[in-house]
Amino acid sequence: MNLVVVSNRVSRGKANEPMTGGLAAALLPIVENSGAIWVGSSGRVRDGNQEPFAEIEALGVGALALLDLPAAHYGGYYEGFANSALWPAMHSRADLIRATREDYLSYREVNAFMARALLRFRKPDTAFWVQDYHFLALGAELRELSVTSPIGFFLHTPWPARNVFCGVPHALELIEAMLAYDLIGFQTEEDCENFLACVQHELDLPVHDGIILSRWGRTRAAVFPIGIDVDLFAQYAAKSATHPEVSRLRKSLNGERLAIGVDRLDYSKGLVNRIRAFDQMWSDQPSLLRTASLLQIATPSRGAIEAYGNLQNEVAKLVSDVNGRHGEIDWTPIRYLNKGFAQAVLAGLYRTAQVGVVTPLQDGMNLVAKEYVAAQNPADPGVLVLSKFAGAANELDAALLVNPHDIDGMARTIATALTMPLTERRMRWEAMMTKLRRGTIQQWFANFIEELQETQPDKSEMPELMSDRTALWPRRPAQAGARIH
Ligand code: F6P
């Protein structure tokens, strides 16, 4: 089988270069080793109605195809519909949903553009695997172009409660378009159930054992929790001690204990509450002043969107207040860095920190949590403090689980983590490593592709359902049975 993987952001695969986001980092080893073609945005745009242009380069035994997206639609697609309507909705922040009709049209245009671009990678045995909320309608656009190959989709974010997703303009058209996929993968059972509830109650379609029957044919929805390359990360960490940035960090600590947070600067990551919890901890437990500090790496993200600009200001001010209040002439409580680090360096920073703090308000999986665990020294592992609202909490239940809205509770738990005895740290770490080894990125990839190959034939076996393939959008009004916004 010839596999084409599609995502908005791709990674060029250099271990010594910073990487933004879990998806790009996670997909890298599987594309490098599987021979897949990975198609995504080049980060550049092009004017006019030109044919899709892709620059192709080798990536391990696979290849990377970088596509210039249409200039007229890029803003409406990326900053607009994807990140100002879908992202807040997926993270249950309906209050932040902002989208115009133009944004939606641009989102659909970019999905249609990507579908046209993918045709050049199609061979008789090609399967497509589309990633994430940027391309909910790409499968439908491919079917419009008469593609009958297997098409899978994986959502890296949560899928929210029905009422929240329905707050997205054109929500029902999008859910309906998603049913053009043969297999839809989610991070957790809850995400999958929320999605199926939307299909059943909003589109009035029958659902049995995760199988949905629609005018597109048969779609299976299932859970595939994403993992990491555990051995690779552990190797990075073991080799990292000599890395200049890692050894500089070590030297600067003077025996002080360190907690680390590594996040995109995003409102879903719970940064404000986390910093408030540290503030509270230092106020409640003065013995931790000068003996325990926080290194918070917060990579700027989507800065052109108002909610992100506001958050950047809020976090910077809060860090400065806390440092002003608890700091000393020779001690800074929070080291706050707005830049990214390469995976190999991050692994060393994780290993240097006695506590990893991963406290999102909502998160699909959160691979930082898994990376922190994989990077630890088996003889003297650190402790993971993990939000119960991250998908990773389902597997990493041996972490110290916290409610990221409960500042007092988080303050107490971080203090417990900083002072946990070695025996308990090892017991918890070993339990988490066992889980990580059971669900690596390689297994995630293999499981999804195996199921995708099994789910497909039904589309061609259901000609009566396929006879009316006209998309709901943008060329015709709503059809009976589907309530359209
Ligand atoms: O769904 C999660 C994800 O794809 C992450 O991999 C990444 O953190 C984010 O969404 C996308 O971020 P960006 O807008 O920077 O590509």
What is the Å distance from ligand 1's center to 210 Cα?
Answer: 26
Asked if residue 364 has its Cβ within 6 Å of ligand 1, the reply is yes
What separation in Å is there between the alpha carbon of 22 and the centre of ligand 1? Answer: 7
- pLDDT reported for residue 227: 97
User: What is the C-alpha separation between 208 and 33, in angstroms, rounded?
Assistant: 36
Helix orientation angle between 343-352 and 230-239, rounded to the nearest 10 degrees = 70
Q: Which atom of ligand 1 is nearest to the CA of 301?
A: 15
**Which atom from ligand 1 is nearest to the alpha carbon of 9?**
16
- Structure confidence at residue 23 (pLDDT): 87
DSSP letters, 48-82, are TTPPP-EEEEEETTEEEEEEEEEHHHHHIIIIIII
Q: Is 459 exposed, middle or buried (0-12, 13-18, 19+ CB in 10 A)?
A: buried
pLDDT given at position 380: 98
Residue 40: its H or E element: strand 37-46
Give the list of residues 6+ apart from residue 185 with CB closer than 8 angstroms, or none.
Answer: 152, 153, 154, 155, 221, 222, 223, 224, 448
Tokens 């041996």 -> residue: 398
| Among 230, 246, 219, CA closest to 140 | 219
Q: Are 90 and 160 in contact (CB under 8 A)?
A: yes
- Closest residue by CA, ligand 1 atom 14: 302
- Whether 28 lines ligand 1, by a CB cut-off of 6 Å, is no
The backbone torsions φ and ψ at residue 455, rounded to the nearest 5 degrees and listed phi first, read -85, -15
Burial of 72 (0-12, 13-18, 19+ CB in 10 A): middle
User: What's the one-letter identity of residue 8?
Assistant: N
Between CA 379 and CA 388 the distance in angstroms is 27
SS3 label, residue 183: strand
Cα(157) to ligand 1 centroid in Å equals 9
**What was the pLDDT predicted at 54?**
83
pLDDT digits 0-9 by tens, 4-23: 999 999 987 666 677 767 78
Ligand 1 contacts CB of residue 266 (under 6 A): no
| Weakly modelled stretches of the chain, pLDDT under 70 | 13-16, 20, 49-50, 456-485
Cα–Cα dist 156/86, whole Å:
12
Tokens of 130: 């589309």
Q: Is 20 in the pocket of ligand 1 (CB under 6 A)?
A: yes
Q: CA 64 to CA 36: how far, in whole Å? A: 9
The H or E element that residue 259 is part of is strand 257-264
Positions marked active-site: 156, 363
Instruction: DSSP letter for 51, please.
Output: P
- The closest of 292, 289, 285 to 259, measured between CA atoms, is 292
pLDDT computed for residue 482 by the predictor: 29
CA 47 – CA 457 distance, rounded (Å): 39
Q: How far apart are CA 183 and CA 294, in angstroms?
A: 42
Q: Ligand 1 centre from 23 Cα, in Å?
A: 6
- The helix (H) or strand (E) run that includes residue 211 is strand 211-214
**Which residue's CA lies nearest to atom 8 of ligand 1?**
21
Find all residues with CB under 8 Å of 109, minimum gap 6, and list them.
70, 73, 77
Rounded to an integer, what distance in angstroms lies between the CA atom of residue 399 and that of residue 1? 39
Residues 63, 69, 74, 77, Cα dihedral to 10°: -60
Ligand 1 centroid from CA 40, angstroms:
13
Between CA 90 and CA 96, with CA 92 as vertex, the angle to 5 degrees is 95
Which residue's structure tokens are 């902002």? Answer: 98
* 9 Cβ inside 6 Å of ligand 1: yes
Calculate the CA 340 to chain-centre distance: 16
Whole-prediction pTM value?
0.93
CB 89 within 8 A of CB 97: yes
Q: Counting atoms of ligand 1 from 1, which one is nearest the CA of 266?
A: 8
Q: What is the pLDDT of residue 1?
A: 84
Task: Indicate the top mutation candidate among 8, 11, 19, 20 to test ligand 1's pocket, ranked by most ligand atoms within 8 A of CB.
Answer: 20
pLDDT at 21: 72
Distance between CA atoms of 351 and 50, rounded to whole angstroms? 48
Please give the helix or strand (H or E) that residue 385 lies within, else none: strand 383-387
CB 183 within 8 A of CB 452: yes
